Amino acid sequence: MTASPPPVSTDRLVARLEALGRVGALDGGGVCRLALTRADGEGRDLVVAWMKELGLDVAVDRIGNIFGTRPGSRPGPSVMIGSHIDTVATGGLYDGNLGVLAGLEVVAALNDAGIATERPITVAVFTNEEGARFQPDMLGSLVHAGGLDLETALATRAVDGALLADELTAIGYAGGAPIGGIEAQAYFEYHIEQGPVLEVEAIEIGVVEGVQGISWTELTIVGRSSHAGTTPMRLRRDAGLAAARITAEVSAMAREIGGDLVATVGSVKLTPNLVNVVAARAVMTVDLRHPDEATLQAAEARFAEIVERIAAQEKVEVARRVLARFEPVAFDPALIDRVEAVAHGQGRTTRRMFSGAGHDAQMLARVCPAAMIFVPSVDGLSHNIREFTAPTDLGNGLSVLAELVLERAGRANVVPTASRGDA
Ligand code: HGY
Ligand code: MN
Ligand code: MN
| pLDDT for the residue numbered 3 | 59
Last residue of a domain, one of 307, 326, 345: 326
129-169 residue pLDDT tens: 999 999 999 999 999 999 999 999 999 999 999 999 999 99
Atom index in ligand 1 nearest the CA of residue 88 equals: 5
Phi, psi of 340, rounded to the nearest 5 degrees = -65, -45
pLDDT at 256 over 60: yes
Per-residue pLDDT band for 413 (boundaries 50, 70, 90) equals: confident
Same domain for 33 and 164, yes or no, is: yes
Residue 320 placed within a domain? yes
Rounded to whole angstroms, the Cα distance separating 290 from 327 reads 9
Identity of residue 148: L
Same domain for 393 and 305, yes or no, is: no
Same domain for 224 and 190, yes or no, is: no
Q: By the 8 A CB rule, do 373 and 205 touch?
A: yes
Q: Is the CB of 213 under 6 A from ligand 1?
A: no
Average pLDDT over residues 249-274: 97
**Mean pLDDT over the full length of the chain:** 96
Residue 375 placed within a domain? yes
Residue 422 placed within a domain? no
Residue 385 placed within a domain? yes
| pLDDT for the residue numbered 418 | 46
Same domain for 48 and 193, yes or no, is: yes
323-363 residue pLDDT tens: 999 999 999 999 999 999 999 999 999 999 999 999 999 99
To test the pocket of ligand 1, the residue of 87, 129, 208 to mutate (highest count of ligand atoms within 8 Å of its CB) is 129
The CB density around residue 114, as the number of other CB atoms within 10 Å, is: 12
Average pLDDT over residues 16-27: 98
Same domain for 55 and 159, yes or no, is: yes
Cα distances from 52 to residues 68, 94, 267, in angstroms, run: 8, 22, 39
Per-residue pLDDT band for 414 (boundaries 50, 70, 90) equals: low
Same domain for 93 and 175, yes or no, is: yes
- Ligand number nearest CA of 96 is 2
- Specify the higher pLDDT residue, 144 or 420: 144
Residue 18, domain CATH: 3.40.630.10
Cα dihedral sign, 226-229-230-236: positive
Q: What stretches of 172-317 show up as alpha helix (H) in DSSP? A: 197-200, 239-257, 293-314
Per-residue pLDDT band for 419 (boundaries 50, 70, 90) equals: very low
Same domain for 163 and 283, yes or no, is: no
| pLDDT for the residue numbered 6 | 83
Identity of residue 133: R
Residue 290 placed within a domain? yes
Q: By the 8 A CB rule, do 280 and 228 touch?
A: no
| pLDDT for the residue numbered 346 | 97
Atom index in ligand 1 nearest the CA of residue 194 equals: 5
pLDDT at 4 over 80: no
- Name the domain count of the chain: 2
Residue 308, domain CATH: 3.30.70.360
With a threshold of 0.85, does the pTM exceed it?
yes
Average pLDDT over residues 214-223: 98
Last residue of a domain, one of 326, 346, 376: 326
Q: By the 8 A CB rule, do 238 and 292 touch?
A: no
| pLDDT for the residue numbered 18 | 98
| pLDDT for the residue numbered 415 | 52
Closest CA to 41 of 100, 162, 135, 128: 128
Domain hosting residue 202, numbered range: 10-211+328-412
Same domain for 335 and 191, yes or no, is: yes
Identity of residue 295: T
Same domain for 159 and 230, yes or no, is: no
Residue 348 placed within a domain? yes
Q: By the 8 A CB rule, do 204 and 393 touch?
A: yes
Same domain for 192 and 294, yes or no, is: no
Per-residue pLDDT band for 1 (boundaries 50, 70, 90) equals: very low
271-299 residue pLDDT tens: 999 999 999 999 999 999 999 999 999 99
85-113 residue pLDDT tens: 999 999 999 999 999 999 999 999 999 99
Same domain for 235 and 152, yes or no, is: no
To test the pocket of ligand 1, the residue of 94, 137, 286 to mutate (highest count of ligand atoms within 8 Å of its CB) is 137
Last residue of a domain, one of 278, 302, 326: 326
Q: Is the CB of 199 under 6 A from ligand 1?
A: no
The CB density around residue 76, as the number of other CB atoms within 10 Å, is: 10
- In the chain, pLDDT over 90 holds for what percent of residues? 96
Same domain for 336 and 238, yes or no, is: no
Residue 359 placed within a domain? yes
As a whole number of Å, the CA-based R_g of the chain is 23
Alpha carbon 303 to chain centroid, angstroms: 25
Phi, psi of 220, rounded to the nearest 5 degrees = -110, 110
